[in-house]
Amino acid sequence: MVRHKVIAELETITGGRVEIAEFHTIPFRLRADVRNLTIHGRESSSEAPYVHLDRLVADINVISVFSFRFGFHSVLLERPTVHIIVYPDGTTNQPQPAVKKASDSTPIEELFSLRISRLEVQRGELLWNDQRVPLEFAASDVAATMKYSFLRRHYEASISLGKLTAGSGTIARSPGEQRLISF
């Protein structure tokens, strides 16, 4: 039941078709373990999917039981692959979220807002058209928000990081520094 609820929520947020091979929980540790999570975008069936994770392990931190708010103590992503295709007409394979606007006066819908004490990405890869970029890092004090603009039909993400370690070095960031990403 929880697996189907997670799939439905991810499909609503991303607008893509979501598949999860395995979903396990350890209730007393507040841990979720997801295996082979795939989000299909607008790419053809012969191409790599929009997003694929071999494994996601999340230790959940309940912020408020009454308002059903939670964050994460830690999130581990094993072999994540993000595949972005830019087509000749300038469109991409990114799916559009299936969310409904909260009201007619709100042209932007918040898709998610989350906090993670520790995020670790192992053996990941970003595929941008034919370019491959390795992703392997650990970050602390991560805060992320993603919104979707219905008028401009694009996503807007805000990410705040504490300490970021990539490869053998640490990339220093000012506390609370944010980067705005639009795509």
pTM above 0.85, yes or no: no
Q: What is the DSSP string of 81-144?
A: EEEE-B-TTS-BSPPPP-PPPS-TT--EEEEEEEEEEEEEEEEEEEEETTEEEEEEEEEEEEEE
Which residues, in sequence order, are CB contacts of 162 under 8 Å at separation 6+? 139, 140, 141, 142, 173, 175
One digit per residue, the tens of pLDDT, for the chain of length 183 reads 788 988 998 898 888 999 999 999 888 888 999 999 999 999 999 999 999 999 999 998 876 556 556 789 999 999 999 999 999 998 899 998 765 555 555 566 777 788 899 999 999 999 998 899 999 999 999 998 888 777 777 778 888 988 988 865 555 554 555 444 444
Question: Is 152 in contact with 101 (CB distance < 8 Å)?
Answer: no
